Amino acid sequence: MQVLAFLSKHRGVGTSTLACHVAVQAQLTGHGPVTLTGLRHDPILSNWAGLRQGRHPLYEETNLADLGSVLEKQTRAGVRLSVVDCAFEDEDTLFGMAGAADLVVLPTHAETSALEQASGGAALAEQQRRPFIFVINAAEADADAIGDAAMYLAQHGTVSPVIMPCNDDLGTSIRMGQTIVELNRSSPASSEVARLWDYLLSRLDRVPRQATHSFRASLPNLPVAAEPERQAFLPVRVLHGALAAGARSVGRLPLPIESGKSLWRDVTTTPGARALTRTLKAQRPSVIGPRAEVTGNLESTGDIHFHAHYEGEIRARTLRVCREASIRGLIIADAVTVEGAVRGRIRAAKVILARGASVSGEVLYEKLVVRKGAILDGHCRRVEPVPALAQIKALESA
């Protein structure tokens, strides 16, 4: 039997929904018997299993202490694949589950807080010497944001080339006791689920099977040897060195990624890739953490990822207001992405309000994107073009 574990510590990235759909797709494509195992009580999954009235894959709930015996029982019963859903648990539970898996799947959104949690899950899998795959799920961000997310994740491991789009039908089908692949096999969402399972199966086929699924139940203090290198082909932002300083061109590039190593140091050995690496490293954002105490005005010619609570004025090339952040005051930038809360004024050429964002006040923009689940309350005005940060500074100093 093989164990495919879906792990996440971040709420709302669709871990359980993906686990259900992959388990059903595996069963439907002849890789059963498949069992879906929940590592906590989940009323949604319990209701899903109850509505199915015994149809495969069967659902079983357990806990970390009993997980080993449950997996052994499934093996004796002839189960070929156990898909384990482990979401919202503490690090010791995630660590233990990672050790029992043949392959760890780490779903994440393209938002900063979710990406950071996913990279933390990757560290736990590496400590257990287990292979892992990042899956960008419920993607509703633009191509640039998805490319940035893939680039960030690639610093920590392999990224699935299948990016799951935002589709409410997946969650709706779960509440009906079904999955989208059972309700409508010809839908685009069903096709993406099938592609994801095919990719995960190809990775499972390359993993040596464990004789027994035993694991350490607590985090170790000793360093662990690095994982063998793996490769993935993923969308990336291409920064062409031939352009003038600060200019950028966005494209798609098949890029070999070595798992467990820094992308900035070990992408490949070609001169062009080394130049690309130096450019990317130079443009990494400044991160202001949730515990930072910031007073006065902030100004940067680069990118800022903001996690803290702040009142004042921020000027930057690009600003990402992360999910746990709140800002009250004035924001001036070339591009602003809001995942948290902003009260005041935003002046930017491009403004993106992600799911869960809350903005009240005045927004002056050239391009405005409001995602489903974002709240915008205030006065919005489109001006073309909005002055770039350098021009704004020159006008105000005149």
Q: Which residues contact 199 (CB under 8 A, 6 or more apart)?
A: 160, 161, 162
- The C-alpha angle 233, 203, 208, rounded to 5 degrees, equals 140
Q: What is the pLDDT along the chain (398 residues), one digit of tens a residue?
A: 999 999 988 777 888 899 999 999 999 999 989 999 988 777 888 888 888 888 889 898 888 888 888 999 999 999 999 999 987 667 778 888 888 899 999 999 887 778 888 888 888 888 888 999 999 987 665 566 777 788 888 878 889 988 888 778 888 888 888 999 998 888 888 999 999 999 999 999 888 766 455 544 444 443 333 333 333 333 333 222 222 233 232 333 333 333 333 332 233 333 443 443 444 444 567 788 877 777 788 888 888 888 889 999 999 989 999 888 999 999 999 999 998 999 999 999 989 998 889 999 999 998 888 888 889 998 898 886 655 555 555 555 55
Distance CA 277, CA 256 (A): 13
For residue 37, which of 13, 12, 76, 73 has the smallest C-alpha distance? 73
Structure tokens at 27: 């069963």
HSE at residue 214, side-chain half, CA atoms within 13 A, is 2
> Which pLDDT does position 340 carry in this prediction?
92
Domains of the chain with bracketed CATH: 2-204 (3.40.50.300), 286-397 (no CATH)
pLDDT of residue 36: 92
* pLDDT (0 to 100) of residue 134: 94
Contact in structure between 14 and 111 (CB atoms under 8 Å): no
Q: What pLDDT is recorded for position 145?
A: 73
- Buried-state track 179-193, b at ≥16 Cβ within 10 A, e below 16: bbbbeeeeeebbebb
Q: Residue 224: how many CA atoms within 13 Å on its side-chain side? A: 14
What integer pLDDT is reported at residue 115 of this predicted model?
84
Determine contact, residues 239/280, Cβ cutoff 8 Å: yes
Query: SS3 for 6?
Result: strand
The answer to whether 290 and 339 have CB atoms below 8 angstroms apart is: no
Q: Measuring CA to CA, which residue among 230, 239, 229, 231 is closest to residue 147?
A: 239
pLDDT at 236 (0 to 100): 31
Compute the distance between CA of residue 379 and CA of residue 395 in angstroms, rounded to an integer.
Answer: 23
d(CA 110, CA 14): 12
pTM: 0.60
CA angle 208–212–218, rounded 5-degree value = 100
Name the residue among 112, 110, 67, 109 with its Cα closest to residue 85: 67
* 345-359 residues labelled b (16+ CB within 10 A) or e (exposed): bbbbbbbbbbbbbbb
Q: 143, 66, 144: which is closest to 100 by C-alpha?
A: 66
Res 9: pLDDT: 81
